Structure 1
Amino acid sequence: MSSIPPRPTNVTTQLAKERNREAAERTMASWIQNCIGIIGFGAGFDSILTALHQAFPEQDRAFDLNLVHIIGLAAIAIGILLLVPIIIAYKQEIRYLEREDYLAELPRLSNLGVVVSSIILYGLIAFVAALFVLPWR
């Protein structure tokens, strides 16, 4: 049984893999930071508008408190759900880096599509939330 000898690797290839792994980790850390910000926004949004409602009860018609709770919880849920695509993209990148044919195969653009579509989805939800909560009357 003949076995194919492993492809020789050089220091440059190994350093490139190391840099790419660190870049993937930085990207994931940045994404986690943004998701924590979105979760904090959801918690703060609910708390701040509830405190405003208690401080100024005469402005009851300016915003619906139930809608505020729903938007706050939705922001928290979206912050948690947006962690899923980056974890998947990170794991795919690490698997790609560990392959023997690292230089022969180009990384997929599906990761970028998932990330961009997640950001667009959150932006649309934030736009709709702002549209319904702000007093336009």
Structure 2
Amino acid sequence: MSDAPPSPLMNITNELARERNRAAAERTLNAWSRICLGLIGFGVAYEQVTRSLRRHAASAAIIANPNPTLVGLGFVGMGLLLLGLALVQHRLTLNALEQQGNVLLSIKTLNHWAVVAIVLAGIAGLGVTLVLP
């Protein structure tokens, strides 16, 4: 191993900043993954619980929800869509970090769509929760 100083082209401060940004991108992807897994898990659990309640209920009129499979698939689909958006955002961030000039690409549009999707999923979840007696 040589004890030669780092080349003048490599700035230690910039490399440490890039590593922090990479770590922040990984944490952001992990947070998105948790949100998406929560949506997927809620969709599966909702479908299973509603089916079980309908099976054990004395009359089907007790639970007025139209189709638990469609609601469950909607939440699973939302979770998968958001996970795809998170992966695209993560890849864009890493590509921007790898560029020589380190110019971050604009990902505001992806963030807006993701926030809108989460808000819609929350409203749908609230509506589904209110339908159950």
Task: Give the corresponding residue for 2:9.
Answer: 8
Structure 1 unaligned runs (5+)?
Answer: 1-6
Task: Give the corresponding residue for 1:31.
Answer: 32
TM-score, normalised to structure 1's length?
0.78
Q: Which amino acid aligns with 1:19?
A: R
Percent of aligned pairs sharing the same letter? 30
Structure 2 unaligned runs (5+)?
Answer: 1-7
Give 4+ residue runs of structure 1 displaced > 4 Å after superposition.
Answer: none
Pairs within 5 Å for 1:1-137: 8-58=9-59, 60-64=60-64, 66-102=66-102, 105-108=103-106, 109-130=108-129, 133-135=131-133
Number of residue pairs matched by the alignment: 125
CA RMSD of aligned residues (A): 2.1
Question: Following TM superposition, by how much is the alpha carbon of 1:72 offset from its aligned partner in structure 2, in angstroms?
Answer: 1.0
- 8 Å Cα contact 1:50-1:65 kept in structure 2: no
User: Once the two structures are superposed, what CA deviation does each residue of 1:30-89 show, in whole Å capped at 9, x if it has no partner?
Assistant: 21122111111111111111111112232x112246522211111111111111111111
User: Once the two structures are superposed, what CA deviation does each residue of 1:73-113 show, in whole Å capped at 9, x if it has no partner?
Assistant: 111111111111111110110011001111xx355233432
TM-score, normalised to structure 2's length?
0.80
- 8 Å Cα contact 1:42-1:74 kept in structure 2: yes
